[in-house]
């Protein structure tokens, strides 16, 4: 079973949303996980905007990178420069992709503006994983 790992700084927003979409869009033939360089806890706004897409990530937990899982992955996707730059070395068989997405939790604005920033990042992740799913299916 192929394995994919979504990594960002705190494993609270971007990588958590990517894990939710990965499990949904890549399906049961893939083992999907997410982690961070640090753990910042699951962001409630990420949970809220994913629920708008009927994907429940509320039971997911913020995790540190598991080196054993990382080394056995087929694909590692970094979602921020911090994760890309600090990700441990991987063997040559591990494909690495970088999606430079803004941190929605760092957005400074009122509640509605923050919610819209989370939705924007969520939608970018959904599009990227949809494309990835089609590539893996050979479409």
Establish whether 73 is a catalytic residue: no
How far apart, in whole angstroms, are the C-alpha atoms of residue 74 and residue 64?
A: 19
User: Which is the catalytic residue, given 87, 125, 129, 132?
Assistant: 87
User: Which is the catalytic residue, given 4, 6, 7, 8?
Assistant: 8
Establish whether 87 is a catalytic residue: yes
* DSSP secondary structure, 2-48, as one string: -EEEEEESSSSSHHHHHHHHHHHHT-TTSEEEEEESS-----HHHHH
Establish whether 13 is a catalytic residue: no
Query: Any residues with CB less than 8 A from the CB of 100 and at least 6 apart, and which?
Result: 79, 80, 81, 84
User: Which is the catalytic residue, given 80, 105, 121, 129?
Assistant: 80
Q: Which residues are catalytic?
A: 8, 80, 87
């Amino acid at each position: 079973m192929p394995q994919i790992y979504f990594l960002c700084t705190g494993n609270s927003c971007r990588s958590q949303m990517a894990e939710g979409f990965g499990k949904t869009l890549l399906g049961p033939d893939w083992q999907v996980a997410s982690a961070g360089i640090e753990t910042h806890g699951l962001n409630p706004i990420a949970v809220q905007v994913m629920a708008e897409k009927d994907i429940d990530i509320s039971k997911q937990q913020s995790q540190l990178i598991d080196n054993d899982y990382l080394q056995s992955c087929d694909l590692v996707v970094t979602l921020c420069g911090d994760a890309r730059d600090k990700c441990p070395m991987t063997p040559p068989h591990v494909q690495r992709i970088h999606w430079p997405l803004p941190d929605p939790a760092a957005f400074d604005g009122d509640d509605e503006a923050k919610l819209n920033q989370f939705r924007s990042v969520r939608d970018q992740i959904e599009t990227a994983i949809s494309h990835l799913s089609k590539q893996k299916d050979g479409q």
